[in-house]
Structure 1
Amino acid sequence: SMGSFYNHEAKRDRVLLLNKKELKKLLTKGEEKGFTIIPLALFISERGFAKLKIGLAQGKKTFDKRETLKERDVKVEMDRAMKR
């Protein structure tokens, strides 16, 4: 049943508008190790409706992480050298 302005459940679960196949694929991938479901963008209309764009992200491999850390260290060193 519908509630009025004063007695609605603000934190209730909402319906996810996906096909059954899409939802099943998203849930199985989300439960796999190394995959994460993340929000990409949130759109709120003038009428108060919200639309959330979600994505499936795969974590970095260890060699990618090391490479990223090296690049960050080099950038920090260059910034320090430029300030001198």
Structure 2
Amino acid sequence: MSKAFNKVKVVADNRRATYDYSIEERFEAGIVLQGTEVKALRKSEGSIKESYATVEDGEAWLINSHIPEYSHGNRLNHETRRPRKLLLHQREINKMMGAVQRQGMTLVPMSIYFNGEGKAKLELALAKGKKVHDKRQAIKDRDWKRDQARILRDRG
């Protein structure tokens, strides 16, 4: 179901998202960054744990992502938590906007990475929030798979 993106170097990963949300569809988006932000990301600094994405006026934005200031930056260094514009096709933005408004879905950033061409990309997912019983079932399934692997490994 999910597309395989060309992730050469993953900078930030939102591992909690797959636990809190059921992922419906994934998109690859470019990010509008300043020079010092790219340098900080190349040093594998950055976090998208508390971040989310919105669609406003036909444009997609990444809100509350943290990219720390570049250590060798001068007075032209960037703000750490500024809103960053996402580069997507208009039909993708329309699809996301419709799903968020009609179906109550959420835009969740999954990871920031550099692709094969050296460009920073964001993996963005359309997701539905899981209920408590869904989370419990996910824990049971994960534990059973771990036990299953242990049993098969012991039997040889």
Normalised to the residue count of structure 2, the TM-score between the two structures is 0.31
Larger Rg: 1
- Which structure has more relative contact order (CA 8 Å, sep 6+)? It is 2
Choose between structure 1 and 2: higher strand proportion: 2
- Whichever structure has more helix as a proportion of its residues is 1
